[in-house]
Amino acid sequence: MGEKRKKAQPRLTTYQRDILTLLYRFRFITSQGLAAYRQQPSSVAAHERLTGLMRRGYVARHFDSSYRLQHRPAEYYLLPAAIRLLRTILEESSERELKQIYARPRASRRFIDRSLRLLTISLAFERVYRDQLDFMTKVDLNLEAYTYLPQPLPDAFFRVSSEATPERSFFVEYFDSGVSIGIHGRKIAEYLDYQDEGGWEETGEAFPTVIIICETTALLNQAAKRVRSISNQKWGSVTFRLIDLPSLTHLARPNEAAWLDPEEREMVEL
């Protein structure tokens, strides 16, 4: 008898390819996050699609009994088997980021939580700006074409444009409670140094506003004080705008005065 041929796996659907792309861009997602991204009222279908990709060896998840006790959803991430496939799916991929997929099973809790929050942040901006928004994650920016950007790279970068208003650019940083405000303060100083060194000038565009999204209101107040202190020390002219994550997720329209101007200590439009 001849050797049995291994049955070929069916081709991925567009939905499955979108999931792999989303996991590449945000590193970790939950079924609830995927459902929100797809604007689906229930996460059942998202869970089924993620489970299907697990069976095919492209995706794995973090989940054990402790998750049930904490009512914490499973966190899904890419496996190395997806790397070759991603090179064909993505218009442009970062080899640096593809290699990082091997480290996903060992990611820290803070890294995972920050990744999940970045998807929440992206969805909040998409809800407000819709088709005016061009949102890029740190993974999207980790390409040779963006070597002029500040290092380490921002958590995200986006542009907003419409027929009625000129294009505007924004760096995005997420400040979580996992480290001290002193650590976060270094990122504030890095933006002031980056502007002073002229790295952005080669774009010929106005320097982007730096958005700092804080996990809590208490952290926002600490960050605002740190912005004022460091800006005064460095004589910086970077525009910072701050908001806490709960307020961002409830933002309904672009012109809300929901952003803290740390210098003037008042709420303004973005």
| CB 220, CB 200: distance < 8 Å | no
Q: What is the pLDDT of residue 8?
A: 59
Residue 124 has pLDDT above 70, yes or no: yes
Going by pLDDT thresholds of 50, 70 and 90, the confidence category of residue 165 is: confident
Q: What is the pLDDT of residue 164?
A: 80
For domain 113-268, the CATH architecture is 3-Layer(aba) Sandwich (3.40)
- Sorted by where each begins, the domain ranges of the chain are 14-105, 113-268
Mean pLDDT score, 213-236: 95
Q: What is the pLDDT of residue 167?
A: 93
Write out the two tokens for 216.
């809590």
- Angle among Cα 47, 50, 55 to the nearest 5 degrees reads 120
Q: Is the overall model pTM greater than 0.75, yes or no? A: yes
Question: What is the rounded radius of gyration, in angstroms, for the C-alpha atoms of the chain?
Answer: 20
Backbone torsions φ then ψ of 208, nearest 5 degrees: -65, 150
Mean pLDDT score, 60-80: 95
Mean pLDDT for all residues in the chain: 94
Mean pLDDT score, 229-238: 91
Write out the two tokens for 72.
């914490």
Residue 213 has pLDDT above 70, yes or no: yes
Going by pLDDT thresholds of 50, 70 and 90, the confidence category of residue 4 is: low
In angstroms, the CA 101 to CA 175 distance is 24
> What topology does CATH give the domain 14-105?
Arc Repressor Mutant, subunit A (1.10.10)
